[in-house]
Amino acid sequence: MGREAEGFTGRTAVVTGGAQGIGAAVVRRLCAEGCRVLIYDKSPEHAAATRDRLRAQGYSVVVATGDVSDQEAVRAAFASVPADWAPPTLLVNCAAGFVFEGLAATADQWHAVLDPTIIGLSLVTQAFQAGLPERDADAAVVNIASISAHVAQDGFLTYNTSKAAVLGFTRCAAQELAPRGIRVNSVSPGTVWNDGNERYHREVLGLDRAAAEAAPEHGGKFLLRRFADPAEVAAPIAFLLSRDASFITGVDLPVDGGYLAV
C-alpha cells in the first residue's frame, strides 16, 4: 500500500455516482489505499459490476442503490453501511445530472440537472455529517464540480449553472462544518476520457481518442493537449481526502490540464 495508505486504512468512505467514470476510479483508488467503500449509485447493474470486480481483488466494497435526491433513499444508503465497519468519515459526491440546454430549458430539464447535482449533494452531505461527532470529526468531503463551472459555454446553461452551484455549496458547507473538524473541497475536472465521452466522440463526431485529442477544439484546448484518464482525477481527490490536506478546506482544485490557465 505504501505511506499514502496509512491515512485511509480502516476508514470508511461513501462515493455517490461510484459505479462508473470518475466515481469508479475514486472507489478503486480509495480501496487500494486501505478504505472500505460504500458505492451509492442509481444503477444497480453498474454498481454491482464495479463491486464484484473490486471484491475479486480482495477489497471491501458494498453497494446501495437509489436516487440521491430522495431523502429516504439517502438515509437508507447510509444505514446500509455494515455494522462491523467504522462509521463513514470520507465522502465523495460524484452523482450529477447531465443536461445540456440553454435558455430554452424546460422545468423538467432543470429538475433533471439540479435535483441530483445540488439537492442530492445537499441531502447526502447532510446525512454524512449527521453521523459524525460534534467536534474533532477528522472527516473530509470532496464534491465534483467542473471546468464548466468557471466559464460560459454555448448551449451549456443548465449544466454550467449546476456545477457553479457546486462551488458555492462547497464554500458555504466548508464554513459551516469547519468547527466540527470536517473539511469540504471540490475538484473541477476537464474532459475525462470515460465511457460516455468515448461513445460521444466515436458515435457523434466519428473520432477515436487520438483524433479527438489532436483536434484544436477538443483535446487541443487543454495546455497538455489531451484528455484526462479517470484515475488522474481520482488521485487529487484522494489527496484532498487525506490527512496530507489537513489544512485545506473551502477551495476548488482544477484538474484540467491547464484549461483554466489561459
Residue type, 170: T
Separation of alpha carbons 231 and 52, rounded Å: 19
**Burial letters 201-215, b for 16+ CB under 10 A, else e:** beeeeebebeebbee
Least Cα distance to 254 among 171, 167, 168, 140 occurs for 167
Active site residue 159: yes
Residues 6+ apart with CB under 8 A from 23: 15, 16, 17, 39, 41, 92, 94, 95
Confirm if 183 and 251 have CB atoms less than 8 A apart: no
Report the catalytic residues. 159
